[in-house]
């Protein structure tokens, strides 16, 4: 293995000079720098990572804590990981893969052994056991998602509140007056998963602001449950003309259910989803959607972490603006030509309930 003293000897300088050429932490004359750089190239020298970490107390590695069991949409996770790895390399850092399953012990391990300089933690829950640990660890970290108490922690995610609002705004501009949000399964709300609640809040407040009738409907997992929910909803709210769907596993089932219930999309029912582009594109009708900006989140997380490592100040919360991609599932509102489930004389909008 070629080491720094070899380079130094060949260039006729001392090892420290080589080090300074590499790090740029002291001024080096142009001639010397050139000679050193040439020696480095000719010998193919690379600093020994361990020695460097020992001496500088910087490993130039950051940990990516990732849920590796299926759960979140996998291609999105992958995009995210790719973005993190690529951006980290652009900052001359490497990425250590840590599985969610290692839990708190895993964090402690990589942090206390000085294996990594910082942490990027994905899939943060509202009540996350790792939060207090992250505070105590003393290593810079960036969280993907927002826990209940985020003070002193740096978090980044899609702005779900704005996302809910954006969906409603789009539908409102198309003339819809009565909308519903088909959301996550009830236990997701109960578990306190932040993004579900925030989407619902944005949805509801935007609808109220625009004087629209709105309901939030949790959807149980499973095709059958999705179908039953849709049928009940269309029966109970005949004036409903547009839906926001924030439940990616059920999206496909839901779109099929609308059609089976005799509702043409988008002619009779407009649908806008919050889901990965991939899912939106492959539904029976390509769905207008706000997607999870995995790449931007990943890159943003790395940038934030790098800033913290450089002792620069960073905002506690970074909310990425939603971007709505229009596809084939939304159209201007028009009064239904034929009665749906309810008798024709009731078609004045009063059957469209407002959320409690």
Give contact residues for a copy of itself (rule: CB under 8 A). 1, 44, 46-54, 59, 61, 64, 68-70, 74-75, 77-78, 81-82, 85-86, 89, 94-99, 101-102, 108-110, 112-115
Q: Which helix (H) or strand (E) holds 321?
A: none
From the list DNA, a copy of itself, none, partner contacted by residue 346 (C-beta under 5 to 8 A by kind): none
Contact of residue 148 among DNA, a copy of itself, none (CB under 5-8 Å per partner type):
none
In the complex, least distance from residue 51 CB atom to DNA, rounded to whole angstroms: 3
CA distances from 176 to 33, 130, 173, 244, 270 (A): 68, 43, 7, 12, 9
The separation between CA 306 and the C-alpha centre of its own chain, rounded to angstroms, equals 19
Q: Which does 225 bind (CB under 5 to 8 A by kind): a copy of itself, DNA, none?
A: none
| Complex with DNA: residue 1 or 337, whichever CB lies closer | 1
Sites of contact with DNA (CB under 7 A): 1, 3-5, 12-20, 22-23, 25-29, 31-33, 45-48, 51-52, 54-57
Q: Which of 66, 59, 52, 50 is nearest to 117 (CA)?
A: 59
Minimum distance of a copy of itself from residue 56's CB (angstroms): 9
> Residue 112's binding partner, choosing from DNA, a copy of itself, none, with beta-carbon cut-off 5 to 8 A by kind?
a copy of itself
Binding partner of residue 12 among DNA, a copy of itself, none, CB cut-off 5 to 8 Å per kind: DNA
Q: How far is the CB of 108 from a copy of itself (least distance, A)?
A: 8
Reading the block at residue 2, the tokens are 């070629």
Q: How far is Cα 121 from Cα 126, in angstroms, rounded to an integer? A: 13
Judge whether 121 and 133 are in contact, CB under 8 Å: no
Are 239 and 352 contacting, i.e. CB atoms less than 8 angstroms apart? yes
Least distance CB 43 / DNA (angstroms):
10
In the complex, the smallest distance separating the C-beta of residue 141 from DNA, rounded to whole angstroms, is 21
Partner that binds at residue 14, options DNA, a copy of itself, none, CB closer than 5 to 8 Å by kind: DNA
CA distance 93 to 49: 11
Look at residue 83 and give its three-state secondary structure: helix
Nearest-approach distance from CB 48 to a copy of itself, in angstroms: 5
- Of 61 and 178, the one with the shorter C-beta distance to a copy of itself is 61
CA neighbor of 245 nearest in space, from 327, 183, 166, 325: 183
Contact by Cβ (8 Å): 271, 336: no
Using the minimum distance from each CB to DNA, give the nearer residue, 111 or 158.
111
Nearer to a copy of itself, 55 or 328 (CB): 55
Tell me whether residue 17 or residue 289 sits nearer to DNA (CB atom): 17
Q: Angle, nearest 10°, between helix axes 248-260 and 223-236?
A: 50
CA distances from 105 to 58, 71, 110, 153, 222 (A): 21, 22, 9, 20, 35
């Amino acid at each position: 293995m070629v080491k720094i003293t070899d380079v130094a000897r060949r260039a006729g300088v001392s090892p420290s000079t080589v080090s300074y050429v590499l790090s740029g932490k002291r001024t080096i004359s142009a001639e010397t720098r050139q000679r050193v750089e040439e020696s480095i190239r000719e010998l193919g020298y690379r600093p020994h990572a361990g020695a460097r970490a020992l001496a500088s107390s910087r490993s130039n590695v950051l940990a990516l804590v990732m849920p590796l069991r299926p759960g979140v949409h996998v291609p999105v996770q992958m995009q995210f990981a790719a973005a993190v790895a690529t951006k980290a390399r652009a900052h001359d850092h490497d990425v250590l893969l840590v599985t969610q399953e290692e839990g708190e012990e895993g964090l402690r391990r990589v942090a206390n052994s000085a294996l990594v300089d910082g942490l990027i933690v994905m899939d943060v829950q509202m009540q996350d056991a790792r939060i207090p640990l992250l505070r105590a660890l003393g290593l810079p970290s960036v969280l993907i998602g927002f826990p209940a108490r985020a003070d002193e922690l740096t978090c980044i995610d899609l702005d779900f509140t704005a996302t809910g609002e954006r969906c409603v705004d789009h539908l409102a501009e198309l003339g819809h007056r009565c909308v519903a949000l088909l959301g996550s399964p009830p236990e997701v709300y109960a578990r306190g998963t932040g993004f579900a609640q925030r989407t619902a809040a944005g949805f509801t407040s935007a609808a109220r602001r625009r004087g629209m009738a709105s309901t939030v409907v949790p959807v149980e997992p499973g095709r059958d449950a999705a179908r039953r929910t849709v049928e009940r909803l269309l029966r109970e709210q005949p004036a409903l003309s547009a839906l926001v769907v924030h439940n990616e596993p059920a999206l496909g089932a839901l779109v099929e259910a609308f059609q089976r219930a005799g509702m043409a999309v988008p002619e009779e029912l407009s649908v806008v989803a919050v889901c990965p582009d991939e899912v939106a594109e492959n539904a029976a009708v390509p769905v207008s959607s706000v997607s999870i900006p995995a790449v931007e989140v990943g890159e943003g997380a790395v940038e934030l972490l790098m800033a913290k490592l450089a002792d620069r100040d960073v905002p506690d919360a970074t909310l990425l603006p939603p971007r709505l991609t229009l596809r084939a599932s939304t159209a201007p509102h028009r009064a239904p030509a034929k009665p749906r489930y309810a008798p024709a004389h009731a078609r004045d909008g009063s059957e469209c309930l407002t959320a409690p």
